[in-house]
């Protein structure tokens, strides 16, 4: 029961990170020590059905709770009013995973492949952050076959990038021009459900259903690919993830842009960095 509750909290952290541009849900999974296990149960869902349900169910509950209860709070209150402290909190969550990841490669020979993987994925994350600066457009989601197909593939891409450590799925959605549309639709769906507005909820489903189906396909597809990579090239894969993790704080700071800096902001920011680091270590079981 303790592990079930812990996984709900882990799911909440993942859910929040997946709706915040620049923050990687995959990195949060790594930082909390559940990434390898989640990939395994997703790729062998039928064979490990009970184990999969016991992991995926609480994570799913936590993600839904976080998106429903806190995504607007973070996006409309904490980030606008306390950008440095909020971003440093997430950076603390991310760097808290480095000790765990270093243990994966400690004592093993670091070859040229590992170095290239680290460098390539570091550049990928920082490059995506630079590309994503200021990109924030709306998308046409009126009911049509073409738009349904588009939403499906956006779901595939978004979910796939959300599973990959270091890559921000929400940032990719911003680049594609669907971020605000999906977030606003989720918010509208929740409001409609709470108000028992069936017509309003069904209208939102026109967008959320094809996007959701695409997301499931994306997660499962990437999980199988990641499992293959870890089996064949584990050390290179771990160094690639370390590159993604090390780059993530830079990506978050790039996405944050310029903010007012004072003694209080810096001190409280350092505190939030430490809080995020400790939470990451605790949720990661370290």
Buried b or exposed e, range 46-60, using 16+ CB within 10 angstroms: eebeeebeebbebbb
| Domain that residue 53 falls in | 2-283
Better-scored residue on pLDDT, 114 or 170: 114
First to last CA, the chain: 19
- Whether the CB-CB separation of 20 and 178 falls below 8 Å is answered with no
Separation between Cα atoms, residue 90 and residue 110, nearest integer Å:
29
DSSP 10: H
pLDDT band per the 50, 70, 90 thresholds, residue 116: very high
- Which tens digits make up the pLDDT trace of 180-204? 788 778 878 888 888 899 988 898 8
277 has pLDDT over 80: yes
Is 258 exposed, middle or buried, given 0-12, 13-18 or 19+ CB atoms closer than 10 A? Answer: exposed
Separation between Cα atoms, residue 200 and residue 188, nearest integer Å:
8
- Which tens digits make up the pLDDT trace of 207-216? 889 998 998 8
CA distances from 171 to 4, 18, 112, 135, 246 (A): 30, 9, 30, 9, 17
Separation between Cα atoms, residue 271 and residue 279, nearest integer Å:
12
Separation between Cα atoms, residue 58 and residue 5, nearest integer Å:
7
Separation between Cα atoms, residue 90 and residue 245, nearest integer Å:
12
Q: Residue 162, SS3?
A: helix
What pLDDT score does 30 carry?
74
Q: Number of folded domains in the chain?
A: 1
- Which tens digits make up the pLDDT trace of 49-103? 888 888 888 888 888 888 777 766 766 788 778 888 888 888 887 787 777 777 7
């Amino acid at each position: 029961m303790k592990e079930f509750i812990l996984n709900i909290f882990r799911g909440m952290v993942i859910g929040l990170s997946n709706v915040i541009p620049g923050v990687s849900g995959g990195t949060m999974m790594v930082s909390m020590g559940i990434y390898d296990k989640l990939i395994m149960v997703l790729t062998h869902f039928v064979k490990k059905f009970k184990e999969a349900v016991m992991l995926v169910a609480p994570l799913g509950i936590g993600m839904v709770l976080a998106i429903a209860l806190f995504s607007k709070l973070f996006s409309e209150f904490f980030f606008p009013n306390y950008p440095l402290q909020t971003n440093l909190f997430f950076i603390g969550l991310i760097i808290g995973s480095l000790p765990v990841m270093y243990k994966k490669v400690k004592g093993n020979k670091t070859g040229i492949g590992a170095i290239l993987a680290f460098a390539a994925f570091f550049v990928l994350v920082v490059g995506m952050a630079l590309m994503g600066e200021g990109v924030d457009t709306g998308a046409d989601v009126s009911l049509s076959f073409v738009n349904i197909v588009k939403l499906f593939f956006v779901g595939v891409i978004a979910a796939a990038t959300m599973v990959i450590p270091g890559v921000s799925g929400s940032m990719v959605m911003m680049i594609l021009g669907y971020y605000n549309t999906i977030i606003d639709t989720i918010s509208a769906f929740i409001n409609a459900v709470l108000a028992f507005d069936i017509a309003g909820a069904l209208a939102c489903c026109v967008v959320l259903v094809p996007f959701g189906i695409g997301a499931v396909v994306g997660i499962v597809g990437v999980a199988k690919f990641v499992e293959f990579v870890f089996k064949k090239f584990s050390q290179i894969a771990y160094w690639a993830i370390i590159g993604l993790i090390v780059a993530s704080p830079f990506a978050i700071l790039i996405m944050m842009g310029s903010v007012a800096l004072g003694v209080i902001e810096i001190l409280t920011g350092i505190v939030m960095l430490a809080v995020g680091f400790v939470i990451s270590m605790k949720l990661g079981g370290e």
